[in-house]
A = this chain, B = another copy of it.
Amino acid sequence: MSVVMKPEASPKDMARVLRTIRSYGLKTDAMHGEFQNVIGIIGDEKKIDLEMLRVLPGVQEVITIQVPYRLVSRSYIRHDVVVKVRDDVKIGGENPPVFMAGPCSIESYEQLHRIARKVKEAGAQILRGGAYKPRTSIHSFQGLGIEGLKHLRDVAKDLDMPTVTEVRSEFDVKTVAKYADILQIGARNMYNQDLIEASARTKKPILFKRGFSAQVDEYLSFAERIAGHGNKQIILCERGITPLGGSFKPATRFTLDLNVVPLLKKETPFPVIVDPSHGTGRRDLVLPMSKAAIACGANGLMIEVHDRPQEALSDGAQALDPRDLSGLIRSCLEIFNIESNIPSKIM
Protein backbone atom coordinates (compact mmCIF):
# COMPACT_ATOMS: atom_id res chain seq x y z
CA MET A 1 0.00 0.00 0.00
CA SER A 2 1.25 3.50 -0.72
CA VAL A 3 -0.17 6.94 -0.07
CA VAL A 4 0.16 9.57 -2.79
CA MET A 5 0.08 13.09 -1.35
CA LYS A 6 -1.45 16.02 -3.22
CA PRO A 7 1.04 18.42 -4.88
CA GLU A 8 -0.20 21.17 -2.58
CA ALA A 9 0.01 19.08 0.63
CA SER A 10 1.92 20.81 3.41
CA PRO A 11 4.80 19.29 5.43
CA LYS A 12 2.34 19.24 8.30
CA ASP A 13 -0.10 17.10 6.27
CA MET A 14 2.75 14.76 5.42
CA ALA A 15 3.79 14.49 9.06
CA ARG A 16 0.24 13.71 10.09
CA VAL A 17 -0.03 10.86 7.61
CA LEU A 18 3.31 9.41 8.71
CA ARG A 19 2.25 9.65 12.35
CA THR A 20 -1.06 7.97 11.65
CA ILE A 21 0.52 5.04 9.85
CA ARG A 22 3.08 4.55 12.61
CA SER A 23 0.31 4.65 15.20
CA TYR A 24 -0.79 1.28 13.77
CA GLY A 25 2.64 -0.18 14.55
CA LEU A 26 3.81 0.01 10.96
CA LYS A 27 6.92 1.58 9.44
CA THR A 28 7.06 4.11 6.62
CA ASP A 29 9.18 4.92 3.64
CA ALA A 30 8.91 8.47 2.31
CA MET A 31 9.79 9.33 -1.28
CA HIS A 32 10.10 13.00 -2.09
CA GLY A 33 9.29 13.65 -5.72
CA GLU A 34 9.63 16.82 -7.73
CA PHE A 35 5.92 17.50 -7.73
CA GLN A 36 4.48 15.34 -5.06
CA ASN A 37 5.44 12.97 -2.25
CA VAL A 38 4.61 9.30 -1.88
CA ILE A 39 4.65 7.28 1.33
CA GLY A 40 5.29 3.53 1.33
CA ILE A 41 4.02 1.36 4.17
CA ILE A 42 6.12 -1.44 5.64
CA GLY A 43 4.42 -4.18 7.61
CA ASP A 44 1.06 -5.88 7.75
CA GLU A 45 -1.39 -3.53 6.06
CA LYS A 46 -4.40 -5.35 7.35
CA LYS A 47 -3.86 -3.52 10.62
CA ILE A 48 -4.73 -0.20 8.99
CA ASP A 49 -8.08 1.50 8.54
CA LEU A 50 -7.92 2.40 4.87
CA GLU A 51 -10.85 4.80 4.91
CA MET A 52 -9.28 6.71 7.75
CA LEU A 53 -6.13 7.33 5.70
CA ARG A 54 -8.05 8.39 2.62
CA VAL A 55 -9.76 11.28 4.38
CA LEU A 56 -6.66 12.78 6.00
CA PRO A 57 -5.83 16.30 4.73
CA GLY A 58 -3.35 16.35 1.85
CA VAL A 59 -3.95 12.75 0.76
CA GLN A 60 -4.66 12.40 -2.94
CA GLU A 61 -4.85 8.62 -3.30
CA VAL A 62 -4.26 5.41 -1.39
CA ILE A 63 -2.95 2.71 -3.70
CA THR A 64 -3.29 -0.96 -2.83
CA ILE A 65 -0.69 -3.09 -4.53
CA GLN A 66 -1.64 -6.73 -5.11
CA VAL A 67 1.84 -8.16 -5.74
CA PRO A 68 3.67 -9.56 -2.70
CA TYR A 69 6.18 -6.70 -2.89
CA ARG A 70 5.43 -3.00 -2.99
CA LEU A 71 8.47 -0.83 -2.41
CA VAL A 72 10.34 -2.36 -5.33
CA SER A 73 7.42 -2.25 -7.77
CA ARG A 74 6.95 0.18 -10.62
CA SER A 75 3.62 1.08 -9.09
CA TYR A 76 5.53 2.64 -6.23
CA ILE A 77 8.69 3.92 -7.94
CA ARG A 78 7.64 5.03 -11.38
CA HIS A 79 10.95 6.13 -12.88
CA ASP A 80 14.02 3.99 -13.63
CA VAL A 81 16.41 3.82 -10.69
CA VAL A 82 19.99 4.52 -11.78
CA VAL A 83 22.59 3.17 -9.37
CA LYS A 84 25.48 5.60 -9.42
CA VAL A 85 28.59 3.79 -8.24
CA ARG A 86 30.75 6.77 -9.17
CA ASP A 87 30.15 9.85 -11.27
CA ASP A 88 31.33 7.99 -14.31
CA VAL A 89 29.85 4.59 -13.52
CA LYS A 90 26.06 4.52 -13.64
CA ILE A 91 23.99 1.37 -13.91
CA GLY A 92 20.45 1.32 -15.24
CA GLY A 93 18.06 3.66 -17.03
CA GLU A 94 19.25 4.74 -20.46
CA ASN A 95 22.92 4.21 -19.64
CA PRO A 96 24.98 1.83 -21.76
CA PRO A 97 25.59 -1.58 -20.22
CA VAL A 98 28.19 -1.74 -17.47
CA PHE A 99 30.75 -4.56 -17.34
CA MET A 100 31.96 -6.03 -14.05
CA ALA A 101 34.87 -8.40 -14.49
CA GLY A 102 37.67 -10.06 -12.58
CA PRO A 103 38.70 -13.35 -11.06
CA CYS A 104 36.32 -15.62 -9.18
CA SER A 105 38.64 -15.69 -6.15
CA ILE A 106 41.25 -13.17 -5.12
CA GLU A 107 44.32 -15.33 -4.80
CA SER A 108 47.06 -12.72 -4.21
CA TYR A 109 47.73 -9.02 -4.75
CA GLU A 110 49.81 -9.89 -7.77
CA GLN A 111 47.16 -12.15 -9.36
CA LEU A 112 44.41 -9.61 -8.80
CA HIS A 113 46.43 -6.68 -10.11
CA ARG A 114 47.53 -8.58 -13.20
CA ILE A 115 43.98 -9.58 -14.11
CA ALA A 116 42.43 -6.26 -13.08
CA ARG A 117 44.75 -4.35 -15.37
CA LYS A 118 43.74 -6.54 -18.27
CA VAL A 119 40.00 -6.31 -17.69
CA LYS A 120 40.26 -2.56 -17.39
CA GLU A 121 42.08 -2.38 -20.71
CA ALA A 122 39.38 -4.59 -22.22
CA GLY A 123 36.76 -2.02 -21.21
CA ALA A 124 35.36 -3.30 -17.92
CA GLN A 125 34.42 -0.51 -15.51
CA ILE A 126 33.99 -2.42 -12.25
CA LEU A 127 36.41 -4.91 -10.69
CA ARG A 128 34.97 -8.07 -9.17
CA GLY A 129 36.86 -10.55 -6.98
CA GLY A 130 35.86 -12.86 -4.13
CA ALA A 131 37.42 -12.70 -0.66
CA TYR A 132 34.75 -14.69 1.17
CA LYS A 133 33.85 -17.55 -1.14
CA PRO A 134 30.64 -19.52 -0.70
CA ARG A 135 31.87 -23.07 -1.15
CA THR A 136 30.05 -26.38 -1.06
CA SER A 137 32.95 -28.27 0.46
CA ILE A 138 34.68 -27.53 3.71
CA HIS A 139 37.72 -29.13 2.10
CA SER A 140 38.06 -26.51 -0.70
CA PHE A 141 39.77 -23.12 -0.75
CA GLN A 142 37.52 -20.77 1.24
CA GLY A 143 38.89 -17.40 0.13
CA LEU A 144 41.52 -15.09 1.62
CA GLY A 145 39.05 -13.18 3.79
CA ILE A 146 40.13 -9.81 5.11
CA GLU A 147 43.51 -10.14 3.39
CA GLY A 148 41.67 -10.51 0.08
CA LEU A 149 39.59 -7.42 0.82
CA LYS A 150 42.78 -5.42 1.33
CA HIS A 151 44.19 -6.57 -1.98
CA LEU A 152 40.90 -5.58 -3.59
CA ARG A 153 41.02 -2.11 -2.11
CA ASP A 154 44.68 -1.62 -2.99
CA VAL A 155 44.39 -2.81 -6.57
CA ALA A 156 41.22 -0.78 -7.06
CA LYS A 157 42.95 2.32 -5.79
CA ASP A 158 45.95 1.78 -7.98
CA LEU A 159 43.83 1.28 -11.10
CA ASP A 160 41.08 3.70 -10.10
CA MET A 161 38.22 1.19 -10.47
CA PRO A 162 35.16 0.73 -8.26
CA THR A 163 34.73 -2.77 -6.86
CA VAL A 164 32.13 -5.40 -6.07
CA THR A 165 32.64 -8.35 -3.75
CA GLU A 166 30.46 -10.88 -2.01
CA VAL A 167 29.52 -10.70 1.65
CA ARG A 168 28.61 -14.05 3.16
CA SER A 169 28.54 -13.78 6.93
CA GLU A 170 26.52 -11.24 8.91
CA PHE A 171 29.62 -10.72 11.02
CA ASP A 172 31.57 -9.43 8.01
CA VAL A 173 29.02 -6.98 6.60
CA LYS A 174 30.58 -3.86 8.09
CA THR A 175 34.11 -4.87 7.14
CA VAL A 176 33.17 -5.61 3.55
CA ALA A 177 31.31 -2.31 3.34
CA LYS A 178 34.51 -0.54 4.38
CA TYR A 179 36.62 -2.06 1.61
CA ALA A 180 34.27 -2.42 -1.38
CA ASP A 181 31.96 -0.14 -3.37
CA ILE A 182 29.17 -2.63 -4.06
CA LEU A 183 28.13 -5.45 -1.72
CA GLN A 184 27.14 -8.62 -3.49
CA ILE A 185 24.63 -11.01 -1.94
CA GLY A 186 25.09 -14.34 -3.66
CA ALA A 187 22.44 -16.70 -4.99
CA ARG A 188 22.83 -19.03 -2.03
CA ASN A 189 21.99 -16.20 0.34
CA MET A 190 18.93 -14.87 -1.47
CA TYR A 191 16.77 -16.27 1.34
CA ASN A 192 19.13 -15.11 4.09
CA GLN A 193 16.98 -12.27 5.34
CA ASP A 194 19.27 -11.27 8.18
CA LEU A 195 22.28 -10.91 5.89
CA ILE A 196 20.17 -8.96 3.40
CA GLU A 197 18.95 -6.55 6.02
CA ALA A 198 22.36 -6.07 7.60
CA SER A 199 23.79 -5.32 4.16
CA ALA A 200 20.96 -2.96 3.28
CA ARG A 201 21.63 -0.91 6.41
CA THR A 202 25.16 -0.06 5.22
CA LYS A 203 23.46 2.09 2.54
CA LYS A 204 25.96 0.77 -0.01
CA PRO A 205 24.68 -0.36 -3.42
CA ILE A 206 23.59 -4.00 -3.20
CA LEU A 207 24.11 -6.42 -6.08
CA PHE A 208 21.39 -8.92 -5.22
CA LYS A 209 21.54 -12.21 -7.07
CA ARG A 210 18.47 -14.33 -7.72
CA GLY A 211 18.44 -17.67 -5.90
CA PHE A 212 18.71 -20.62 -8.23
CA SER A 213 15.24 -21.93 -7.59
CA ALA A 214 13.43 -18.70 -6.77
CA GLN A 215 10.46 -17.36 -8.67
CA VAL A 216 10.42 -13.70 -9.70
CA ASP A 217 7.78 -12.78 -7.12
CA GLU A 218 9.77 -14.50 -4.39
CA TYR A 219 12.98 -12.83 -5.52
CA LEU A 220 11.38 -9.40 -5.43
CA SER A 221 9.86 -10.09 -2.02
CA PHE A 222 13.38 -10.47 -0.69
CA ALA A 223 14.59 -7.41 -2.62
CA GLU A 224 11.77 -5.65 -0.74
CA ARG A 225 13.77 -6.28 2.44
CA ILE A 226 16.55 -4.09 1.06
CA ALA A 227 14.16 -1.31 0.12
CA GLY A 228 12.37 -1.73 3.44
CA HIS A 229 15.53 -0.59 5.18
CA GLY A 230 15.64 2.55 3.14
CA ASN A 231 18.21 1.34 0.60
CA LYS A 232 17.06 1.81 -3.01
CA GLN A 233 20.49 1.20 -4.55
CA ILE A 234 19.55 -2.25 -5.75
CA ILE A 235 21.10 -4.06 -8.71
CA LEU A 236 19.21 -7.24 -9.63
CA CYS A 237 21.12 -10.10 -11.19
CA GLU A 238 20.05 -13.23 -13.06
CA ARG A 239 22.73 -15.91 -12.73
CA GLY A 240 21.04 -19.13 -13.78
CA ILE A 241 18.54 -21.44 -12.16
CA THR A 242 18.62 -25.10 -11.20
CA PRO A 243 18.38 -27.16 -14.38
CA LEU A 244 16.10 -30.13 -14.75
CA GLY A 245 17.96 -33.38 -14.28
CA GLY A 246 17.27 -36.94 -15.30
CA SER A 247 18.90 -39.90 -16.93
CA PHE A 248 20.99 -37.54 -19.01
CA LYS A 249 23.27 -34.91 -17.53
CA PRO A 250 22.07 -31.33 -17.98
CA ALA A 251 24.10 -29.71 -20.73
CA THR A 252 24.89 -26.69 -18.58
CA ARG A 253 25.37 -26.41 -14.80
CA PHE A 254 22.58 -23.86 -14.63
CA THR A 255 19.81 -22.72 -16.96
CA LEU A 256 20.23 -19.04 -17.70
CA ASP A 257 16.68 -17.70 -17.44
CA LEU A 258 16.80 -14.65 -19.69
CA ASN A 259 13.00 -14.40 -19.80
CA VAL A 260 13.25 -12.65 -16.44
CA VAL A 261 15.38 -9.81 -17.77
CA PRO A 262 12.59 -8.01 -19.69
CA LEU A 263 10.16 -9.16 -17.03
CA LEU A 264 12.09 -7.70 -14.10
CA LYS A 265 12.60 -4.48 -16.01
CA LYS A 266 8.87 -4.22 -16.52
CA GLU A 267 7.96 -5.02 -12.91
CA THR A 268 10.62 -3.02 -11.11
CA PRO A 269 12.51 0.23 -11.63
CA PHE A 270 15.93 -1.25 -10.80
CA PRO A 271 18.80 -2.14 -13.13
CA VAL A 272 19.03 -5.80 -14.09
CA ILE A 273 22.35 -7.42 -14.91
CA VAL A 274 23.27 -10.94 -15.99
CA ASP A 275 26.07 -13.27 -14.90
CA PRO A 276 26.70 -15.53 -17.91
CA SER A 277 29.73 -17.17 -16.25
CA HIS A 278 27.68 -18.91 -13.58
CA GLY A 279 24.59 -18.98 -15.78
CA THR A 280 26.30 -21.29 -18.26
CA GLY A 281 29.29 -22.72 -16.38
CA ARG A 282 31.16 -23.07 -19.69
CA ARG A 283 33.64 -20.61 -21.09
CA ASP A 284 32.54 -21.25 -24.68
CA LEU A 285 28.97 -20.13 -23.98
CA VAL A 286 29.87 -16.88 -22.22
CA LEU A 287 30.18 -14.78 -25.39
CA PRO A 288 26.91 -15.81 -27.10
CA MET A 289 24.92 -15.56 -23.87
CA SER A 290 26.42 -12.15 -23.05
CA LYS A 291 25.16 -10.86 -26.36
CA ALA A 292 21.76 -12.44 -25.78
CA ALA A 293 21.54 -10.78 -22.36
CA ILE A 294 22.23 -7.35 -23.78
CA ALA A 295 19.86 -7.96 -26.69
CA CYS A 296 16.95 -8.56 -24.32
CA GLY A 297 17.71 -5.48 -22.28
CA ALA A 298 20.24 -6.26 -19.53
CA ASN A 299 21.88 -3.17 -18.00
CA GLY A 300 25.20 -4.88 -17.51
CA LEU A 301 27.14 -8.10 -17.17
CA MET A 302 29.24 -9.72 -14.49
CA ILE A 303 31.96 -11.91 -15.94
CA GLU A 304 34.61 -14.13 -14.42
CA VAL A 305 38.00 -13.66 -16.01
CA HIS A 306 41.23 -15.48 -15.36
CA ASP A 307 44.41 -15.38 -17.38
CA ARG A 308 45.53 -18.81 -16.18
CA PRO A 309 42.24 -20.68 -15.80
CA GLN A 310 43.88 -24.04 -15.26
CA GLU A 311 45.57 -22.59 -12.15
CA ALA A 312 42.47 -20.83 -10.77
CA LEU A 313 41.56 -21.87 -7.22
CA SER A 314 37.87 -21.86 -8.14
CA ASP A 315 35.60 -21.96 -11.21
CA GLY A 316 38.37 -22.19 -13.81
CA ALA A 317 36.12 -23.89 -16.36
CA GLN A 318 33.90 -20.88 -16.77
CA ALA A 319 36.53 -18.11 -16.60
CA LEU A 320 37.06 -16.11 -19.78
CA ASP A 321 40.50 -15.22 -21.04
CA PRO A 322 41.07 -11.43 -20.72
CA ARG A 323 41.87 -11.30 -24.44
CA ASP A 324 38.35 -12.44 -25.26
CA LEU A 325 36.74 -9.93 -22.93
CA SER A 326 37.49 -6.96 -25.14
CA GLY A 327 35.73 -8.53 -28.16
CA LEU A 328 32.80 -9.44 -25.96
CA ILE A 329 32.40 -5.88 -24.69
CA ARG A 330 32.62 -4.50 -28.19
CA SER A 331 29.92 -6.85 -29.51
CA CYS A 332 27.64 -6.09 -26.61
CA LEU A 333 27.97 -2.34 -27.08
CA GLU A 334 27.14 -2.66 -30.77
CA ILE A 335 23.99 -4.60 -29.92
CA PHE A 336 23.08 -2.00 -27.30
CA ASN A 337 23.47 0.75 -29.87
CA ILE A 338 21.00 -0.86 -32.26
CA GLU A 339 18.69 -1.39 -29.36
CA SER A 340 18.78 2.20 -28.23
CA ASN A 341 17.89 3.41 -31.71
CA ILE A 342 14.63 1.50 -31.70
CA PRO A 343 12.15 3.77 -30.02
CA SER A 344 9.07 1.85 -29.05
CA LYS A 345 8.51 -1.46 -27.33
CA ILE A 346 5.80 -3.97 -28.09
CA MET A 347 3.03 -3.83 -25.55
- Could you list which residues of chain A lie within 8 angstroms of chain B, going by C-beta atoms? 42-45, 68-70, 134-141, 168-171, 188-189, 191-194, 212-213, 215-218, 221-222, 224-225, 228, 241-263, 266, 279-281, 283-289, 291-297, 320-321, 324, 327-328, 331, 334-335, 338-339, 342, 344-347
17 extra A-B contacts, CB within 8 A, seeds A263-B285, A327-B342:
A135-B193, A138-B193, A169-B194, A170-B170, A212-B246, A213-B244, A215-B249, A244-B244, A246-B250, A255-B255, A255-B257, A256-B259, A284-B345, A284-B346, A286-B346, A320-B346, A324-B347
Partner of A345, one of B192, B245, B253, B287: B287
> What is the CB-to-nearest-CB distance from A21 to chain B, in angstroms, rounded to a whole number?
13
Q: List 11 A-B contacts (CB under 8 A).
A: A188-B191, A213-B246, A217-B251, A241-B255, A242-B242, A242-B245, A244-B245, A258-B292, A288-B297, A331-B339, A331-B342
Quick one: closest B residue to A334, CB to CB? B338
The complex places the Cα of A263 from the Cα of B45 at a distance, in Å, of: 35
Q: Which residues of chain B are within 8 angstroms of A255 by Cβ–Cβ distance?
A: 241, 255, 257, 259
Partner of A215, one of B213, B217, B246, B327: B246
The complex places the Cα of A139 from the Cα of B138 at a distance, in Å, of: 36
Partner of A245, one of B245, B262, B327: B245
Q: Which residues of chain B are within 8 angstroms of A346 by Cβ–Cβ distance?
A: 283-284, 286-287, 320-321, 324, 327-328
The answer to whether A245 and B241 touch (CB under 8 A), given A193-B135, A346-B287, is no
Q: Which residues of chain B are within 8 angstroms of A251 by Cβ–Cβ distance?
A: 215-217, 259-260, 263
Q: Which residues of chain B are within 8 angstroms of A215 by Cβ–Cβ distance?
A: 244, 246-251
- What is the count of identical protomers in the complex? 4
Q: Which residues of chain B are within 8 angstroms of A137 by Cβ–Cβ distance?
A: 68-69, 221, 224
Q: Which residues of chain B are within 8 angstroms of A212 by Cβ–Cβ distance?
A: 213, 246
Quick one: closest B residue to A324, CB to CB? B346
> What is the CB-to-nearest-CB distance from A219 to chain B, in angstroms, rounded to a whole number?
9
> What is the CB-to-nearest-CB distance from A31 to chain B, in angstroms, rounded to a whole number?
17
Quick one: closest B residue to A262, CB to CB? B288
Quick one: closest B residue to A240, CB to CB? B259
The complex places the Cα of A192 from the Cα of B215 at a distance, in Å, of: 20
The complex places the Cα of A253 from the Cα of B169 at a distance, in Å, of: 30
Q: Which residues of chain B are within 8 angstroms of A228 by Cβ–Cβ distance?
A: 138
A253, B246: Cβ atoms closer than 8 Å: yes
The complex places the Cα of A41 from the Cα of B289 at a distance, in Å, of: 35
The answer to whether A194 and B213 touch (CB under 8 A), given A258-B256, A284-B266, is no
The complex places the Cα of A45 from the Cα of B140 at a distance, in Å, of: 9
Q: Which residues of chain B are within 8 angstroms of A284 by Cβ–Cβ distance?
A: 262, 266, 345-347
Q: Which residues of chain B are within 8 angstroms of A342 by Cβ–Cβ distance?
A: 327, 331
Partner of A218, one of B169, B248, B256: B248
